[in-house]
Amino acid sequence: MITAKDFLEEWKKETYGLVDFDKKVIELFSLTKETKDFLIEAGLPESSPPFLTFESSINGGGVRLTDKYVNVEEVYSKFIYVGYTGSGAPICIDEENDEVIYIDNENDNEEIFINSSISQLAESLIVYVDFIEKIKNVKGKKAYFERNATKELLSWIANRLQKIDSDSLVQGSFWEEELSTFN
């Protein structure tokens, strides 16, 4: 797993930015020390492929989902809100197991697995940015938006994601869904 320090060195901050989280608030959650340290020391990207946006504490991130959205049922209080997907679905850390999920508000609020930990998410985002660069180099500037990647590149990213987090490509997961959109 990538450390906060390594993430800060490898992440393309100039392109995608970084957001930070309030240490005092993060420390109150029942997250592992590793998760808390990562959020406090590194934060998360402001934006990242594939169409993810993360929000700093100042902009409403790093809080319980039930505090972010007042009409949310109490069952969602275990989720720490950190951002949203391109379709506006909340990205959260599950306080019970530190997994990163999104809540598919277009599909009965189904919890969709993204990564087993925040550091595995961060590392996955780094390799996904590399994947996009490789697609552009092989297939042209518009290839990513046209969802046009070679089988070799799809195999490369699947292998990298699998090495980072063996659960990242399970059926119905965020990363499995993302890779299935390529032709």
Q: pLDDT tens for residues 134-175? A: 999 999 999 999 999 999 999 999 999 999 999 999 999 999
- For the chain, the structural domain boundaries read 4-117, 121-180
- Convert the pLDDT of each residue in 62-113 to its tens digit: 999 999 988 888 889 999 999 999 999 999 999 999 999 999 989 999 999 9
pLDDT tens figures, 21-63: 999 999 999 999 999 999 999 999 999 999 999 999 999 999 9
Q: Give the pLDDT score at 1.
A: 85
CB 54 within 8 A of CB 91: yes
How many other C-beta atoms can be found within 10 angstroms of the C-beta atom of residue 70? 6
Give the global pTM: 0.95
Of 36, 42, 34, 40, the C-alpha closest to 21 is 40
Q: Does 4-117 carry CATH code 2.60.40?
A: no
The DSSP symbol for 89 reads P
